[in-house]
Amino acid sequence: MNVSPTSPRWHTIAATVENKPGVLARVAGLFSRRGFNIHSLAVAPTEDEKFSRITFTVDIEGTPLDQVVKQLDKLINVVDISQLDPDASVERELMLVIVEVGEQRKELMEIVDDYRAYVLNEGDGKVLMSWSARPSRLDELEARLRPFGIVDMQRTGRVTLPSLGT
């Protein structure tokens, strides 16, 4: 479980936890008191409602990943924990974004088509669109939209599952 020096700075960890009140607070509290930094976090029940899966991305600069995983595993409500290798897993993140339409509606819609994003809502000189993709692709789209003027944006944080073989 040692982290090689060439590992990327962000690591994705998925923890299966008991679906009980206060469990997220235990996880979040552990991160803060051990000085680990959470980059993003997504949490929802699994196929079995007794359990939730928390997927989080941690900044492991300064904190060995090994310690993060072992300390989390010590929490009584954490049932299972796995580090997800980006090369062997599928990652998705959802983004909702409101963009100014302005004069360049045509260019904007080309981008929407390019990325196969969805326009969910339009009005007041703005469009609200949604897109789900790999987080790095969301970064790309975000960069392309920025020149139009992003009015508001919300990303969910990534969710991940291991991919099914190769």
The residue (of 40 and 77) whose beta carbon lies closer to other proteins is: 77
End-to-end CA distance of the chain: 23
Closer by beta carbon to other proteins, 3 or else 41: 3
Question: What is d(CA 126, CA 101) in angstroms, rounded to the nearest whole number?
Answer: 5
Position 100, amino acid: E
* Cβ closest to other proteins, residue 79 vs residue 94: 79
Q: Which residues bind other proteins (CB under 8 A)?
A: 17-18, 21-22, 25-26, 29, 33, 64, 66-67, 70-71, 73-80
- Give the C-alpha separation, 11 to 18, whole Å: 22
Task: State in angstroms the smallest separation of the CB of 71 from other proteins.
Answer: 5
CB of 43 to other proteins, least distance (A): 16
Cβ partners under 8 Å of residue 43, min gap 6: 24, 52, 53, 54, 55
CA distances for 62 relative to 5, 34, 36, 58, 65, angstroms: 12, 11, 9, 11, 9
